[in-house]
A and B are shown apart, each in its own frame.
Chain A
Amino acid sequence: MRFKNDSFPLDAADVGILEALQTDARQTYVSIGRQLGIAHSTVYDRIRRMEQYGIIKKYTAIIDSERVGKWRITAMMTVFTNPKESERVAEKLCEAPQVLEVYSSLSEELQIIAKVVAETQESLHDFIANSVAPLHGVLRIRTSMVTKKFKEIPVSILNDPEG
């Protein structure tokens, strides 16, 4: 596994612990230790260290939004912005609870790309028309509604395409 210069060096035990946590973050230190052949106290120490260094950012629950029924619509929104205002536009988008992910991207123009969820198409439109279009620096917006999800997993140490 390769690391950037400023990244935290992980050994095989750390990687094994991260893999175990990504499979099931609720399992015990004893269980993880057994799988890896190391003491549970070592598991505890390594997890604490990785939390402190921000390798493990948080523990969360992955919710099936379709089963919950509240957020039936998922959309990818591309916001074309004035370069001077793009940072602020991105920050404002981050404040909205229905915006799940926000990225900036530079192709021919500066764009903010955001993943948005909504209860209905109408509420998605209301959010974009009333809360995104009026932001200073927004030039235009393209939105694509997601019709089928083929893959959605959190970033994993298990699936590094470069090995």
Chain B
Amino acid sequence: MTAEQTKILRTVPREKAFYFFTSIGNYTGLSTASLKEFAERMNEVSVKSLEFHLYRGDFEKWLDEVLNDTQLAEEIRRLRRINLAGEALRNQLYTVASRRLKRLTGQSDSLSI
């Protein structure tokens, strides 16, 4: 595993974690501190929260600036541009995040989430 992969796959401290909100100031109680958790959370948080963060650009900002995963950030940026919503958005977010995780970890099977 390269240093870059290790960096992307690390678990960040809680002050750098991503906290899921449904609107301004309304925290769901769910957070993620790693790419693995991020992929898992795509199936756990409400669609309202996913839509809130996607259209504010929060996911790509966190992936870019905290996990340093510019590639996944770019894939999510592309998803934002095609205006997905609801469960279709959830499915796409889960697909791109879990696919990226598998590539980085060298897994071939589906995630055991």
Interface residues of chain A, those whose CB is within 8 Å of chain B, are 75, 77, 80, 121, 124-125, 128-130, 132-134, 136, 138-143, 145
In the docked arrangement, what's the CA distance between A145 and B25, Å? 9
Q: From known contacts A129-B19, A133-B19, A134-B14, infer whether A142 and B26 are also in contact, taking CB-CB under 8 Å.
A: yes
Give the bracket for the number of chain B residues in contact with chain A: 10 to 19
In the docked arrangement, what's the CA distance between A145 and B26, Å? 11
Asked if A125 contacts B24 (CB within 8 A), the reply is yes
Q: Which of A75, A121, A124, A129 contacts B27 (CB 8 A)?
A: A129
* Contact count A vs B, C-beta below 8 Å: 42
Tell whether B59 is near chain A: CB-to-CB under 8 Å: no
In the docked arrangement, what's the CA distance between A145 and B24, Å? 9
Q: Is the interface of B mostly helix, strand, loop or mixed?
A: strand
Within B17-64, the residues touching A (CB, 8 Å) are 17, 19, 21, 24-29, 31
Asked if B25 contacts A77 (CB within 8 A), the reply is yes
A110 to chain B, nearest CB (A): 14
Q: Which of B17, B28, B29 contacts A134 (CB 8 A)?
A: B17
Nearest A residue to B24, CB-CB: A125
Nearest A residue to B23, CB-CB: A143
B49 to chain A, nearest CB (A): 12
Asked if A128 contacts B28 (CB within 8 A), the reply is no
Asked if B21 contacts A125 (CB within 8 A), the reply is yes
